[in-house]
Amino acid sequence: MMIRKYVPLCLLIVFFGIKISNAQSKLQTPNTDTGKVCVKIGPAHPLIEKDIYGYYMNFDITIKNQTSHTLELSSVEVAIMDDKGKLALRKLINNQGSAPGINLLVNTVIKPGETAVIFNPFHTFPLDITIASLKYGLYFDFADNQQQKDLNKTRLPVDYDESAVVGITPRVYVAKNDYLLPLKGKIIVWDGHDFYSHNRRSENQAADSKVAQITANSSRYAYDLMSVDDKGSMYNGSPYAKQNWYSFGKPVYAPLEGVVVAVQNNIPDNDFDGKAVKSPKIDPKTDPEGMGNYVILQHANGEYSMMLHLEAGSVMLRPGQMVKAGEEIGEIGFSGSVVFPHLHYSVTNGTKELASEGLPNYFNDYKLFRGNAVVNIKRSRIDSGDIVESDK
């Protein structure tokens, strides 16, 4: 989703203090273009998380091509500086060798005037370094014709046509609240708190034409949670009947005490038409963001819980009502923009799904299943693929 706060920088670079010429190939005329590449980071100050395995950062890089050339992203580099300004670590991803390489970033070709979003490819760092600041460098080759594209495959990393650098000062994330899992029984984290979650990878232009503009990624650290049986199966029988999904109709509980700030309870559930999801015909203004039925709770320390895709008529709360941790708030449904019944849960810094930034959150007192082994967790994040169960 689109970024609300930006660190803008539109310039050509001398990256990491190393002077590198804007080398030109023999097939290209000298670059007299007056345009530049504009790079923006969102959020402006990304959060650093830390656990026993490493540091984690999640942010988006928006690139606007303000040149008259089609640009092909050939390399992304990061330099991590410690609190003394010394280089602690340097990483890169480029077009050298076999695919995927730079192709992991997907949006690597940007036409003149276009804007593309890539997702920070350097998401995990070792614990034995100090991260005070980072410098990201992006390098581009001209790709106006096939001859240039072919030549780009053999160019050296120091041979590029345009480049941009952006400095980043991250903030260390400190958990403020204690959350409980919002479901009982065994659940699988279909999408979790990790780099591979599709919720983290939301572009700045909504795919749904009903949503014209998104100004933040409230799902940056969101979870998609589903009930499973003892074998880990998510449904019994055909998956093309919503009643066959173990999640459908399961109670949802408040993960933390708070005040109800918003509810939606009258969006009809989707259904299946053969193997396709059939959505009910409703006024586009009724659910423009695809949230379906939902509850939003305000907690202490400026944090909010969003619980989406609830069953029509199941919400038991009203705005202004105080709820306790563990209190039932509704049931999982099949409403809104979904492909199967599940609970979408996120913690944010505001109440607007398209204008609030997602926040990390960790859960207390749950079991983590690793085959026959069961690990009792006092407090941790949950990741995609984890099978967990609340102790509360």
The answer on 245 and 204 residing in a single domain is yes
Q: What is the amino acid identity at position 217?
A: N
| CATH code for the domain in which residue 351 is found | 2.70.70.10
- Residue of 153, 168, 150 lying closest to 94 (CA atoms): 153
Residue 179 lies in a domain: no
Q: What is the amino acid identity at position 372?
A: N
Residue 2 lies in a domain: no
pLDDT at 203: 56
The answer on 346 and 211 residing in a single domain is yes
| CATH code for the domain in which residue 136 is found | 2.60.40.1470
The three-state (H, E, C) secondary structure of the chain, written as one string: CCCCCCEEEECCCCHHHCCCCCCCCCCCCCCCCCCCEEEEEECCCCEEEEECCEEEECCEEEEEECCCCCEEEEEEEEEEECCCCCEEEEEEEECCCCCCHHHHHCCCEECCCCEEEEECCCCEECCCCCCCEEEEEEEEEECCCHHHHHHHCCCCCCCCCEEEEEEECCEECCCCCCECCCCCCCEEEEECCCCCCHHHCCCCCCCCCCCCCCCCCCCCCCEEEEECCCCCCCECCCCCCHHHECCCCCEEECCCCEEEEEEECCCCCCEEECCEEECCCCCCCCCCCCCCEEEEEECHHHCEEEEEEECCCCCCCCCCCEECCCCEEEEECCCCCCCCCCEEEEEECCCCCCCCCEECCCEEEEEEEECCEEEEEEEECCCCCCEEEECC
Q: How far apart are CA 219 and CA 83, in angstroms?
A: 31
The answer on 191 and 116 residing in a single domain is no
Residue 181 lies in a domain: no
The answer on 13 and 162 residing in a single domain is yes
Cβ proximity of 209 and 290 under 8 Å: no
* Number of domains into which the chain is organized: 2
Show Cβ contacts of residue 370 under 8 Å, excluding neighbours closer than 6 positions.
none
Cβ proximity of 308 and 226 under 8 Å: no
The answer on 202 and 88 residing in a single domain is no
Q: Is the dihedral of CA 353, 356, 360, 362 positive or negative?
A: negative
The answer on 205 and 134 residing in a single domain is no
Residue 372 lies in a domain: yes
The answer on 145 and 122 residing in a single domain is yes
Cβ proximity of 142 and 110 under 8 Å: no
The answer on 202 and 85 residing in a single domain is no
Q: Provide the token pair at 305.
A: 């819980």
Residue 332 lies in a domain: yes
pLDDT below 70 — which residues of the chain? 1-35, 201-215, 353-354
Write out the residue range of the structural domain in which residue 312 sits.
187-390
Domain boundary among 145, 172, 199: 172
The answer on 192 and 121 residing in a single domain is no
The model's pTM: 0.84
pLDDT at 44: 85
Domain boundary among 172, 204, 226: 172
The answer on 378 and 245 residing in a single domain is yes
Q: Is 89 exposed, middle or buried (0-12, 13-18, 19+ CB in 10 A)?
A: middle
Residue 1 lies in a domain: no
Cβ proximity of 362 and 303 under 8 Å: no
The full length of the chain comes to 392
CB count within 10 Å of CB 140 equals 25
Q: Provide the token pair at 59.
A: 């942010």
Residue 221 lies in a domain: yes
Residue 182 lies in a domain: no
Q: How far apart are CA 319 and CA 317, in angstroms?
A: 7
The answer on 153 and 260 residing in a single domain is no
Domain boundary among 172, 205, 237: 172
The answer on 191 and 141 residing in a single domain is no
Cα-based distances in Å from 173 to 55, 274, 289:
11, 45, 28
Question: Which backbone phi and psi does 89 adopt, to 5 degrees?
Answer: -165, 145
